[in-house]
């Protein structure tokens, strides 16, 4: 599933968003992005009580907008270092309990201009669980070019 902060039809999926940037003495910038995003990952058991047991996995790509004022028109942000974090924020279900964020990371350390991509693998128990929201925090260090 792909969710973008830049897509006007998906802005209501993002809540409690925060973004800031500040310069370092060596000319690089620190960028901090955090918030909560509605993913509504439903296991097959939510609609089919005879669904197979085990785990249901899904890939998540979040396009997170860079802070306003970070870049001038035509500039990009070259990522030197990235420290992402993604965690469970809201869950529900009715049988065998199980939710997870199995992995997460920044899609690439290339130059970005409007947003940065955070990729993750999510999982829920197949027997009837829903992962409703995840929380993210992303710290970037890089240079404007």
At 11-39, the pLDDT tens digits run 999 999 999 999 999 999 999 999 999 99
Nearest Cα to Cα of residue 40 among 85, 1, 69: 1
Tens digit of each residue's pLDDT (9 = 90 or more) over 54-108: 777 889 999 999 999 999 999 999 999 999 999 877 666 655 566 677 777 787 7
More confident residue, 140 or 94: 140
- Closest alpha carbon to 98 in 137, 59, 45: 45
pTM (2 decimals)? 0.86
Domain hosting 50: range is 2-144
Instruction: Bin 87: left if φ > 0, else alpha if -120 < ψ < 50, else beta.
Output: beta
Please state the domain count of the chain.
Answer: 1
């Amino acid at each position: 599933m792909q969710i973008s902060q830049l897509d006007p039809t998906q802005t209501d999926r993002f809540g409690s968003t925060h973004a800031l940037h500040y310069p370092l003495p060596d000319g690089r910038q620190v960028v901090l992005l955090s918030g909560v995003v509605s993913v509504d990952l439903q296991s097959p058991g939510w609609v089919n009580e005879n669904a197979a047991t085990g785990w249901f996995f899904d890939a998540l790509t979040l396009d997170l907008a860079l802070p306003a004022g970070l870049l001038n028109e035509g500039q990009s942000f070259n990522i030197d270092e990235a420290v992402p974090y993604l965690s469970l924020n809201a869950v529900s279900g009715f049988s065998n309990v199980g939710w997870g964020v199995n992995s997460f990371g920044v899609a690439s350390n290339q130059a970005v201009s409007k947003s940065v991509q955070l990729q993750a693998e999510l999982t829920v128990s197949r027997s009837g669980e829903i992962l409703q929201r995840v929380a993210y925090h992303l710290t970037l260090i890089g240079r404007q070019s």
